[in-house]
Structure 1
Amino acid sequence: MTILLGLTGSIGMGKSTVAAMFRRQGIPIFDSDAAVRRMQGPGGLLLAAIEALHPGVTGAAGVDRAALGAAVMGDKLALHRLEKLIHPQVDRERRRFLRRHRARPLVVADVPLLFEKGFWRRVDLIAVVSAPAWKQKARVLRRPGMTWARLEQIRALQMPDAQKRRRADFVIPTGGSMQDTRAAVRRIIAACMAGGIGG
């Protein structure tokens, strides 16, 4: 039986780095953000529908993510409409991915808003990537175009890190060395393969 491990973490916690560590260990990863980027890229499945919702945010290169973000940030109704468009398509891709890998003992679903959007109910185990708040802030504010105000807007949409950690089967620390993080990933893989859970 395949174990589906949900991998999540707030912005700037190092989730992409951790996902890459799972991938290097040979674990299949479904990356929800990558699926969305494909659908919003050149010739993407969702371009016409997004343009209909928010005229002017798409072009030959696909969706202008900054323009789309500005159009929905702070507007709960607009964000809800966009999510109703995107989430069912991502869910279809995820189901196809899981069917392709159904013979594997462990598959990871990388879902940034796993708790916030209810996907936690559809995974077998949950791993939360976590770092100290000061490190999270430093990482995020180094990103191009990121401001403290925008970070606060994003964090307002995400479940607090402490709450995520309490609900996790595993917590993966990214505030220390890469070696410590890699060791945590290997322990989780071993526990899942053995059918056990732990922190």
Structure 2
Amino acid sequence: MIVLGLTGSIGMGKSTTAGMFEAEGVPVHDSDAAVHKLYEGEAVPIVEEHFPGTAIAGKVDRARLAEAVVGNREALSKLERLIHPLVRRDADRFVEDHRRRGTPLVVLDIPLLFETDGTSRVDKIAVVTAPAHVQRERVLSRPGMTEEKYEKILARQVPDEEKRKRADFVIDTSRGLEPAREAVRDIISQLTKG
């Protein structure tokens, strides 16, 4: 079985691309979805213990948690140390389940693949990219996003150029959905032939 790591900086179209892999029948583990699930279950008491007042009605309130950690490097690092191992464990279970089933290819959608030393967990890496002006336009059109927030997020991410250099596959999402879909199909074909 091949484990493909799918990553890309904010606003590059990674979630849409992950959906394209799923549409082609490739199982995808979505790290962001895993975090959402954890924030409604297993992680609630852990987060509340370390960031009091962030859990409401048995769920982590993402807005309150963001207030507690955004712009505070130490708090954000602490949160990541608490949550990343839980997400990793969930992904490991996903991979093992598909390995037992004999699935030929799975995708781990990991936003911070390079930043969290996730490269050792995958066999190949696909990076989703777009020109900087397209990325900026996409991100700043999101509700609640500010120039300042965007710059802080970018500062914590490995630069796009570096990600592309380290990738086995690069998917440019700025050319439209169909070319991206074709790139996804080509990757699947390359990794599952034989």
TM-score by length of 1: 0.93
Give the CA deviation at 1:70. 2.3
Runs ≥4 residues deviating over 3 A:
none
Inter-partner Cα distance in structure 1 for 2:110 and 2:159: 16
Inter-partner Cα distance in structure 2 for 1:67 and 1:146: 16
Inter-partner Cα distance in structure 2 for 1:94 and 1:188: 21
TM-score by length of 2: 0.96
Could you tell me which residue of structure 2 aligns to residue 135 of structure 1?
134
- Listed one character per residue, the Cα deviations across residues 167-198 of structure 1 (whole Å, up to 9, x for unaligned) are 00000010012110000000000011127xxx
Counterparts of 1:1-199 in structure 2, within 5 Å, are: 2-41=1-40, 44-60=41-57, 62-102=59-99, 103-194=102-193
Structure having the larger proportion of residues in helix:
2
Give the CA deviation at 1:8. 0.1
Figure out how many residues of one structure are paired with residues of the other and give that number. 192
Q: Which runs of 5+ in 1 are unaligned?
A: none
Could you tell me which amino acid in structure 2 is paired with residue 139 of structure 1? R
Give the CA deviation at 1:76. 2.1
Could you tell me which amino acid in structure 2 is paired with residue 163 of structure 1? E
Inter-partner Cα distance in structure 1 for 2:181 and 2:105: 17
- Listed one character per residue, the Cα deviations across residues 21-46 of structure 1 (whole Å, up to 9, x for unaligned) are 000000000111100000102xx111
Give the CA deviation at 1:139. 0.8
Q: What percent of counterpart residues are identical?
A: 54
Across the aligned residues of Structure 1 and Structure 2, the Cα RMSD in angstroms comes to 1.1
Inter-partner Cα distance in structure 2 for 1:20 and 1:31: 10
- Listed one character per residue, the Cα deviations across residues 119-169 of structure 1 (whole Å, up to 9, x for unaligned) are 012210000000111111111111111101000011111011011001000
Give the CA deviation at 1:74. 2.3
Given that residues 18 and 109 in structure 2 are in contact (C-alpha distance below 8 angstroms), is that contact kept between their aligned partners in structure 1? yes
Give the CA deviation at 1:61. 6.3
